[in-house]
Structure 1
Amino acid sequence: MKRLFLTTLLLVLFAGMQLFGQVNTKTIEKKIDVLIEQLTLEEKVAMCHAQSKFSTPGVPRLGIPEIWMSDGPHGVRAEIAWDTWDHAGWTNDSCTAFPALTCLAATFNPNLSFKYGKAIGEEARYRKKDILLGPGVNIYRTPLNGRNFEYMGEDPYLASKLVVPYIKGVQENGVAACVKHYALNNQEHWRNHINVELSDRALYEIYLPAFKAAVLEGEVWAIMGAYNKIRGQFCCHNELMVNKILKGDWAFDGVLVTDWGATHDTKEAALYGLDMEMGTGTDGLTSSSKNAYDNYYLANPFLELLKSGEIDEFVVDDKVRRILRLMFRTNMDPTRTFGKMTNQQHFEVAREVATEGIVLLKNDKGFFPIDPAIKQTIAVIGENATRSMTIGGGSSELKTKHEISPLEGIQKRFKNARIIHAMGYASGPSVYGWVLPTNLNADSLKRAAIEVAAEADIVLFVGGLNKSHHQDCEGDDRTQFALPFGQDDLLNEILKVNKNTAFIMLSGNAVEMPWISKVKALVQAWYLGSEAGHAIADVISGDVNPSGKLPFSFPVKLEDNAAHSFGEISYPGDGINQEYKEDILVGYRWHDTKKIKPLFEFGYGLSYSTFKLLSAKTDKSTYKKGEVIKVSCEIKNTGKSKGSEVIQMYVNDVEASVLRPLKELKAFNKVNLNPGETKSVIMEIPVDELAFFDDSKMNWNLESGQFKLMLGTSSREIKKVLQIAVKN
């Protein structure tokens, strides 16, 4: 009783001190010390594993609450049943569906990333969630990866700059962001067991920077481990990845959570850094003791090893300390906000992200924008014009309050036009992500679409992928680079009867485009969430000037992609192992260095206006380690429309002692300009960021020599080149 009284008193005092802003890190750590002392071994172990699909137990006798979490990263997932993956059937768990993270990455706008994170964090907090499972920052390595739409593209610098504000926005609400999937979960095929082998340079230069930024700059409170193995050990209990790098080199003080069912061994999980085990077995307590929560790897088997002395108690104490630290940041922080339910402000954020992320890839003779005042017939063709893109996709499925389809958005904006729709093709219904055969006749759908196209003034073909199995979906990868469901053939037939045709592509991935020379315009519209139709209409009507830039390269053919150029051992592997043979040359690094022209390059995106980079200069010509390179430039809007351009600065190491990419993104700045307006922009690069990872020293190496600073509007559209010297 005396200990219980002391614990309760300290909790009250702690709450009071927080209310007066007097609590600091040292105070919290002392409080955690007191709580750990009060906990029994059984209670400590219980805190390290799930009690339901999306919660871990608290300790009621000490007032320690449960931890509740929800899938993200594009919205707060509908409530899931306690023991199964069925929906719980709530009527008040709808959310704002925000655009997929590929769209957010395409904005090249860190400020917008913060607004996105804050809004989704508000909804998570309102729903009483303590951890939001997102965002994802795995690198886009192959266009076949079913989960690419959840990530932030192929460039580690871009992903790093966008993940940090997202985290800060979420955590401002007292909800922990949980960055995933740590690490190298760059394909869904064989994800549960494939062992990834890669160089240290590729690991540190390409695949870790966004996670490192999340920890060191974003101060993220939780990380989710990946399913796959790295160098023979599963990611969720990997000595190198967790103990050495994450918790050692980066001093991560948060909680490492498993992906659901990604734990495989009690002793490894205990000793190699796993803090919270979720999802082991898939039926909880409902069928057999084999899958009961108390028999998880970090449950009774862990307890037995602790009691026997085979594992020291300080191991579980460290896990509990991290879990309690997360609680004091979330559900044991009495000062955190109440959050906000889905509201118009959140829909406006979703619409803003969507319109800024849409990428105009082709626009012959100014096909777009289409004047809404003109009376004409517009044929909107394609299943994706009406298909929901918020459901499906795996764990990122959403139950949104509303979803404006592309067809609806076009109908509402183009009221003077006659809008006619034909489905054109059918993918079949989706059941738990799997696509069933359609009962619609493909030939009939095609004939109807061709007839509609023939009588229209213009055709808007709304196609691409969807969020079903073997498309953009968790659980497996795409099986082809080409468009599915006969879209290529249908589009070619439409072009025979109406050459005034544009393609609005909904996808989270690049696709093969054998018809690209024939269509008048092409818009990459991603998965845009609740406000999809409005955002598309905003851009194609000219209400919003497109400013999105591709966050990954579009190869002409699949073999032009680096991962696919080395055969099956590179992708998808031999079923056991996989070797990242392209090494550091991922995405545009591969295309540029190997001189393989992409269909559309990283950083590419058109506007309804035109821009000119007038001048560029550095503050000096020679720099030393620890200094910052400052580049000033002027950009002018030379067109007739207000718009935004992204100035991108790439770096080339002129003469390195090792292979380096021809160029690497090191800075960018999105600038909004009125017609005729000129703005001065300053961009900075810390000299230390010009280093490469030297695997002979297992450290970063900044070599003296000449470097080119290449300023442009995409990775291939370089407008100004400056040269500097670095001396150590």
Structure 2
Amino acid sequence: MKYLQIINRMTLEEKASLMSGKDFWQTQDIEHLGIHSIFLADGPHGIRKQAAAADHLGLNPSIPATCFPTAATVANSWNVELGEKVGQYLGEEAAAQKVNVLLGPGINMKRDPLCGRNFEYFSEDPYHAGKMAAGYIRGIQSHGVSACVKHFAVNNQEERRMSIDTIVDERTLREIYLTAFEIAIAEGEPMTVMSSYNQLNGTYTNENLHLMQEILREEWGFEGVVVTDWGGSNDRVAGLIAGNELEMPTTAGETNEDIITAVKSGQIKEEVLDRCVDRLLDLIFTTEEVYKNRNEKSFNVEKHHEAAQQAAEESIVLLKNEDRILPIKKGVKAAIIGDFASEARYQGAGSSIVNPTVRVNTLDSLEQFGIDSIGYEPGFERYGKKSRKKIDKACALAKKADVVLLYIGLDEATEAEGLDRSNMKLPENQIELIHALHETNPNIVAVLSCGSAIEMPWIDKVKGLVHGYLSGQAGAKAILRVLTGEINPSGKLAETYPLRYEDTPAFGSFPGKEVSVEYRESLFIGYRYYDTANVNVLFPFGYGLSYTTFEYSNIQADRDGVTFNITNTGTIAGMEIAQLYVGCRSGNIFRPNKELKGFTKVFLLAGETKTVRILFDDKAFRYFNVKTNRWEIEQADYAIMIGASSADIRLESTLFVEGTDAPLPYDKENIPSMYAGKVRDVTKEEFEYLLGRQVPVPTWDRTRPLGYNDTIAQCQYAKGWLARFAFHLITFAYWFLRKIGKRSTANLIMMSVYHMPFRGIARMTGGIVNMPMLDGLLLMVNGNFFKGMAHFLKERKKLIKAAKLRSLNNEGA
């Protein structure tokens, strides 16, 4: 241990105190030992350090910081170096605001398009997400602060995220849901990892020895700190045993006592606690170094704003360009329509909300880019209310224009942390506007702003479609530069856009509504499913258009990698994203038809040809064998494919690869759906064969008393009348607030109350309510109102008395 001398001077109580936060964002300090508090702040796409009252929901404003494009946006750049540059700017701003740990990037897989937090994640592909995340981490940590890769692991829904049990087989866990973390940790070397809220196969992730010890610590060699998501600690002692050093936020000393009691009783050895303290001290002292010689408490706002614009420019995706309507030519009369033109949707919602340093407005910038605007009309109500008057006024304006620039998308209340989307549709009032405008003026260029995939049954009503995703504080100008041709678009989708939600592989099993969610589709998420099952999609993974064209030629594959040529066959310079896919051709072990195993972004002048080489790495041919419990290589012929997207393979070669002689892990006849890739209707028997055990009951047991990990939503089944009344009151409040247009407030009820497990009341209130008081509440919930009330008040008095005693002792000291 690095800090054994300091640890030997600490009392057991002092060691335990370091394992939980001092307040909402800071760690505990022990000043007489030179141990200072460090600050943790949200910030996957911009620093969110709150100056006043702290919260984890994005309610209170934070210190101004650059709002960069979200991860889902920069993912479309397919540029690891760009991700590293964004990370460098984030790290510089973190250091300027004296933030020690930046809570990001988030790299959970986009298992389903409806996950409410997809805007904050990179991709549906683990290789792509891992590479992009590693770039961010290197950039952030280049300034001496810590990145914190999250949420570890298999956190793919927001509904009931603090208690849902994710049921996934080991091979799928390793190949799909952990590979991005494996790459990020190996290549980015983050100092911190954040555990997720959910359970994994019956155990909370921060208590899961298989995940936290066998894989993270032993197999991957991670030596840094594991911090819980805020309020994400269930059993503090079990978490400590698993190697979860830091619980956030504070519990006002309550869980410290759990640790002290466990050590004194012999439940855990003090050496286990010492190792956790040592790792936390290393984080504290390492991230403090940056401030010893740093006097500057500011950053170059203008320079960082320009960087945010450059990141947005390279991440914008051109999805449609019928009749070459783009770029817009000078002198063309344009009608600007859509609420998002006047008030851009440029970032997500919840814990990642950034208070931007600068705000760029589209309407104020049109003249700068030579766009001859004949006027603006909102066309629709932002939050979905229908208005025929707005549509008529928009159509009247469109009649006078040569082209309509239509700014549409999803609002802030639709994509948010803590809840999932109810569908993949654009709001109906926007769709009605599109149809009305098409009848008036078919020359429509739609500019789309949203952080996740949507259905587009209206796609034939627009000639051009530019997807800005959530492009940050400078996104408005970035989009205008693409529309006018100042920038040649080079982004490509990092997720598939299905024709309709019913086509998605997890349809019917997302989200888990009660106890658990079953990942029956196994490996087949995103393009892996659509491609293998031959399901048509709207836009495939890796798709994106350019104002120029590219030709691929001369593929040569060897054991170390693949070489090929790319030629810019158009008339202007541009960047092309070449994608390497590998497909095993043996059929002995079920696999997707193709999997991404490499990519590169190449800049080419008009007419220029470049030779490109993409090397194979240790992940190019491997699969996880559940019989040997390790990574193996199947001896077989492999298709080596170079594509402009997952569905547009331009070059192909075959390579024979020697294997590791591992036994075959499956009997084909037991899982026919997997070998066919038809995973929409996997039977319980097939899934249990994959799991190697029985599937747990996915529904609530409504006969038993409610406990710590049951949610407020389950109060509908409570024996106590007060609990049932509270449930109906919460449900009514949610309905009423939506009815009167207060959707963000309604969402807050679902996020912070409805789906909150009872233990969250204690874990998220900073010691105002402790676990003994919670026992009283549960007695009331379970039908013992007076006994529960008496217990609650008794424990409340104890808590107040103990707080006063501590205060007197501190004053005496």
Report TM bin, short chain: 0.7 to 0.9
In 2, Cα distance between equivalents of 1:579 and 1:74? 31
Number of the residue aligned with 1:634: 565
Q: Is the 8 A contact 1:59 1:65 kept in 2?
A: yes
Number of the residue aligned with 1:442: 387
Paired amino acid for 1:410? L
1:571 aligns with 2:510: yes
1:56 aligns with 2:27: yes
For 1:683, what is the secondary structure of its paired residue? strand
1:552 aligns with 2:523: no
Q: From 375, 386, 395, give the equivalent of 1:420.
A: 375
State how 1:10-21 maps to structure 2 within 5 Å.
Answer: none
Q: Is the 8 A contact 2:574 2:604 kept in 1?
A: yes
Number of the residue aligned with 1:200: 170
For 1:451, what is the secondary structure of its paired residue? helix
Tell me how far 1:443 sits from its aligned partner. Answer: 2.5
Number of the residue aligned with 2:201: 231
Q: Is the 8 A contact 1:407 1:533 kept in 2?
A: no
Q: 1:718 to 1:390 in 2, by over 3 A?
A: closer
Number of the residue aligned with 1:699: 630
TM-score by length of 2: 0.78
Number of the residue aligned with 1:76: 47
For 1:56, what is the secondary structure of its paired residue? coil
Q: From 435, 443, 458, give the equivalent of 2:403.
A: 458
Number of the residue aligned with 2:288: 331
1:350 aligns with 2:313: no
1:648 aligns with 2:648: no
Q: Is the 8 A contact 1:648 1:667 kept in 2?
A: yes
Q: Is the 8 A contact 1:330 1:336 kept in 2?
A: no
Number of the residue aligned with 1:363: 321
Q: Is the 8 A contact 1:266 1:302 kept in 2?
A: yes
Question: If each structure's helix is expressed as a fraction of its own residues, which one has the higher value?
Answer: 2
In 1, Cα distance between equivalents of 2:340 and 2:474? 15
Q: Is the 8 A contact 1:363 1:521 kept in 2?
A: yes
In 2, Cα distance between equivalents of 1:335 and 1:680? 47
The C-alpha deviation readout for 1:191-219, integer Å capped at 9, x for no partner, is: 11111101111111111111111222211
In 2, Cα distance between equivalents of 1:595 and 1:86? 41
Tell me how far 1:123 sits from its aligned partner. Answer: 0.2
Number of the residue aligned with 1:41: 12
Paired amino acid for 1:418? S
For 2:230, what is the secondary structure of its paired residue? coil
Q: 1:336 to 1:634 in 2, by over 3 A?
A: farther
For 1:603, what is the secondary structure of its paired residue? coil
In 2, Cα distance between equivalents of 1:682 and 1:610? 20
In 2, Cα distance between equivalents of 1:53 and 1:149? 25
TM-score by length of 1: 0.87
Paired amino acid for 1:426? E
For 1:273, what is the secondary structure of its paired residue? coil
Paired amino acid for 2:652? V
Paired amino acid for 2:161? R
In 2, Cα distance between equivalents of 1:89 and 1:397? 10
Q: From 262, 270, 277, give the equivalent of 1:313.
A: 270
For 2:638, what is the secondary structure of its paired residue? strand
Q: From 519, 524, 545, give the equivalent of 1:580.
A: 519
In 2, Cα distance between equivalents of 1:151 and 1:47? 31
Number of the residue aligned with 2:360: 404
Q: Is the 8 A contact 2:160 2:513 kept in 1?
A: no
Q: Is the 8 A contact 1:646 1:670 kept in 2?
A: yes
Tell me how far 1:467 sits from its aligned partner. Answer: 2.3
Q: 1:272 to 1:336 in 2, by over 3 A?
A: farther
Tell me how far 1:274 sits from its aligned partner. Answer: 1.4
Instruction: Indicate the RMSD between aligned Cα atoms, in angstroms.
Output: 1.9
Q: Is the 8 A contact 2:57 2:351 kept in 1?
A: no
For 2:166, what is the secondary structure of its paired residue? strand
In 1, Cα distance between equivalents of 2:101 and 2:562? 40
State how 1:484-499 maps to structure 2 within 5 Å.
Answer: 484=427, 486-499=429-442
Paired amino acid for 2:312? A
Number of the residue aligned with 2:452: 509
The C-alpha deviation readout for 1:450-508, integer Å capped at 9, x for no partner, is: 2222222211111111222xx22101011111112521111111111010011111011
Number of the residue aligned with 1:597: 536
Tell me how far 1:307 sits from its aligned partner. Answer: 3.1
Q: 1:466 to 1:412 in 2, by over 3 A?
A: farther
In 2, Cα distance between equivalents of 1:539 and 1:336? 42
Unaligned runs of 5+ in 1: 1-28, 281-291, 429-436, 624-628
Paired amino acid for 1:459? V
Number of the residue aligned with 1:616: 555
Q: 1:593 to 1:83 in 2, by over 3 A?
A: closer
Q: Is the 8 A contact 1:53 1:80 kept in 2?
A: no
In 2, Cα distance between equivalents of 1:116 and 1:640? 31
Paired amino acid for 2:135? P
Tell me how far 1:87 sits from its aligned partner. Answer: 8.3
In 2, Cα distance between equivalents of 1:529 and 1:99? 4
Tell me how far 1:408 sits from its aligned partner. Answer: 3.3
Number of the residue aligned with 1:540: 483
For 1:522, what is the secondary structure of its paired residue? strand
Q: From 260, 267, 282, give the equivalent of 1:303.
A: 260
1:135 aligns with 2:92: no
Tell me how far 1:448 sits from its aligned partner. Answer: 1.8
In 2, Cα distance between equivalents of 1:453 and 1:39? 73
Q: 1:367 to 1:253 in 2, by over 3 A?
A: same
Number of the residue aligned with 1:689: 620
For 2:15, what is the secondary structure of its paired residue? helix
1:167 aligns with 2:112: no
Q: Is the 8 A contact 2:345 2:450 kept in 1?
A: no
For 1:528, what is the secondary structure of its paired residue? coil
In 1, Cα distance between equivalents of 2:61 and 2:403? 43
Q: From 177, 189, 194, give the equivalent of 2:147.
A: 177
Which sits farther off after the overlay, 677-686 or 604-613?
Answer: 677-686
Paired amino acid for 1:266? R
Q: Is the 8 A contact 1:652 1:708 kept in 2?
A: yes
Q: 1:75 to 1:603 in 2, by over 3 A?
A: same
Q: Is the 8 A contact 1:410 1:533 kept in 2?
A: no
Q: 1:547 to 1:688 in 2, by over 3 A?
A: closer
In 2, Cα distance between equivalents of 1:120 and 1:339? 14
Tell me how far 1:411 sits from its aligned partner. Answer: 4.3
Q: 1:85 to 1:182 in 2, by over 3 A?
A: closer
Tell me how far 1:82 sits from its aligned partner. Answer: 5.2
For 1:504, what is the secondary structure of its paired residue? strand
In 2, Cα distance between equivalents of 1:574 and 1:390? 30
In 1, Cα distance between equivalents of 2:488 and 2:57? 42
Paired amino acid for 1:525? G
In 1, Cα distance between equivalents of 2:87 and 2:553? 35
In 2, Cα distance between equivalents of 1:483 and 1:422? 19
In 2, Cα distance between equivalents of 1:86 and 1:598? 35
Tell me how far 1:78 sits from its aligned partner. Answer: 4.0
In 1, Cα distance between equivalents of 2:120 and 2:619? 30
In 1, Cα distance between equivalents of 2:257 and 2:51? 25
Number of the residue aligned with 1:474: 417
In 1, Cα distance between equivalents of 2:275 and 2:6? 13
Paired amino acid for 1:573? G
Tell me how far 1:328 sits from its aligned partner. Answer: 2.8
In 1, Cα distance between equivalents of 2:315 and 2:230? 31
Tell me how far 1:40 sits from its aligned partner. Answer: 1.7
In 2, Cα distance between equivalents of 1:558 and 1:502? 24
Tell me how far 1:662 sits from its aligned partner. Answer: 0.4
